[in-house]
Amino acid sequence: MIDVRQIWRGHPGAADAVVAAGAAVLTALVARAGAEGVYVYPQLSHGTVLLRVLPLGWTSGTQIALLPTLACAALYWRRRFPMALVLALVALSVTQPVVVPLLVALFTVARHRGTRTATWSAAAALLPVAAQPLVPSGGATGPTTAVSAVALVAGAVGWGLYVAGAHERVAHAEREAALRADQARQNAREEIAREMHDVLAHRLTLLSMHAGALEFHPTAPPERIAEAAGVVRRSAGEALEDLQGVLRVLRAPVIGDHAPPPQPTLRDTDRLIEEARAAGAEIELRQRLGELSTMDATTGRTAYRVLQEALTNHRKHAPGTVACVTLSGGIAQGLGITAANPVPPLPADRPHPPPGHGLTGMRERVQLAGGRMSHLLTPDGFHLEVWLPWTT
């Protein structure tokens, strides 16, 4: 289907030409009505004064035919000089039936120049109405003509202001929609980043620990080397599976009956702890939890990711120390997660691990779930506290 509005906006010159042609047709009708004594706008003189200043050879019939036509043709430039066109047409309307191009010019001023300029242009267009009592012998005047003129001027200006407001509302809505789309894309990118970090950082730190063991103990017994190599291989395969699981979740449709693949929740805590212990981490776990079946999947998933990131940070920044993890709470109290571990001094030949975005992603995830998080790093150790609402 052809969108007429798009064609109109894309070819303003052609649109102005169409407006000028339409105004010329309507002006001819207004002039014919005036010839029969029906006027919609004050015409204070029949043109005798104008004939005295025009070149020789101009007749009343010439000016009646030519001047309104020129006034309509001037609408082609109405977007460039709208206010000047209004003033010229007001002056010409004293003797000529140019009310139609005048109304178009008033509409253009209101549409493109704002309320204040539109008010001044309307006041200028109503000057002939105010001048009626001062010209008792003026041609086409009367109360009916004055009322008609006021209604037409108010309608043209009001319509222009309404269209301007409508365009502004549409533009504002489009800007808001663009901002919402940008925010949605940003949120999606942040969600992808959090998922990738939480999943891969956990697996890759396990890989790093086992690979480090192989590097620093090259003379270990062959069976120990084979065992460590097997762990590296399994961890790499599990990292790939976790990555594929994340991608399936991100690609899963949000409409319809298709459900995304299941994600780990707090019920998988024991498996997570065992994986960390198998990699050599020392973890003390205390659990004082209510019935986990009453916790919704979103809260359970958030808690699992928080705990996973805490263990990842422990392996990365405090290897060889004991991490104390406590899970407590219930429906009434909410879920509390605390993790603490000492921070050992690093050898001079070992650089500090580069800072990452784990705590930032963890805080964002907790806040999205309606919880709160705090952490404290001292020379003696690191302490993390997280609270999540126990939603059902």
Residues 129, 15: one domain? yes
Task: Quick: pLDDT tens for 229-259.
Answer: 777 777 777 777 767 766 666 666 554 444 4
Identify the residue whose tokens are 């050879």.
57
On whether residue 209 sits in a domain, the answer given is no
The pLDDT, as a whole number, for residue 357 is: 63
Residues 168, 302: one domain? no
CA 238 to chain centre: 39
Give the chain's radius of gyration (CA, Å).
40
**Distance (Å, whole) CA 96 – CA 64:** 7
- Domain termination site, one of 177, 205, 227: 177
On whether residue 147 sits in a domain, the answer given is yes
Higher-confidence residue of 206 and 292: namely 292
Higher-confidence residue of 298 and 383: namely 383
Residues 274, 173: one domain? no
Residues 29, 146: one domain? yes
Q: Which burial class, exposed, middle or buried, applies to 179 when counting CB atoms under 10 A from its CB (0-12, 13-18, 19+)?
A: exposed
The pLDDT, as a whole number, for residue 57 is: 47
The pLDDT, as a whole number, for residue 348 is: 53
Higher-confidence residue of 344 and 127: namely 127
**Distance (Å, whole) CA 388 – CA 2:** 55
**Distance (Å, whole) CA 392 – CA 390:** 7
Task: Quick: pLDDT tens for 150-172.
Answer: 899 999 999 999 999 888 888 88
> How many separate domains does the chain show?
2
Query: For residues 160 and 115, is the Cβ–Cβ distance under 8 A?
Result: no
Whole-number average pLDDT of the chain: 76
- Domain termination site, one of 124, 155, 177: 177
The pLDDT, as a whole number, for residue 256 is: 47
On whether residue 152 sits in a domain, the answer given is yes
- The average pLDDT across 179-195 equals 73
Residues 148, 12: one domain? yes
Number of H helices, E strands in the chain: 12, 5
The pLDDT, as a whole number, for residue 350 is: 53
- Domain termination site, one of 144, 177, 210: 177
Residues 153, 274: one domain? no
In this predicted structure, the answer to whether residue 387 has a pLDDT above a threshold of 90 is yes
CA 35 to chain centre: 57
The pLDDT, as a whole number, for residue 385 is: 92
Residues 139, 281: one domain? no
Residues 148, 28: one domain? yes
Residues 149, 295: one domain? no
Range of the domain at 372: 266-343+356-392
Residues 26, 138: one domain? yes
Residues 172, 278: one domain? no
On whether residue 126 sits in a domain, the answer given is yes
On whether residue 280 sits in a domain, the answer given is yes
Task: Quick: pLDDT tens for 56-80.
Answer: 444 444 455 677 888 888 888 888 8
On whether residue 140 sits in a domain, the answer given is yes
The pLDDT, as a whole number, for residue 338 is: 92
Residues 278, 166: one domain? no
On whether residue 115 sits in a domain, the answer given is yes
In this predicted structure, the answer to whether residue 212 has a pLDDT above a threshold of 90 is no
On whether residue 169 sits in a domain, the answer given is yes
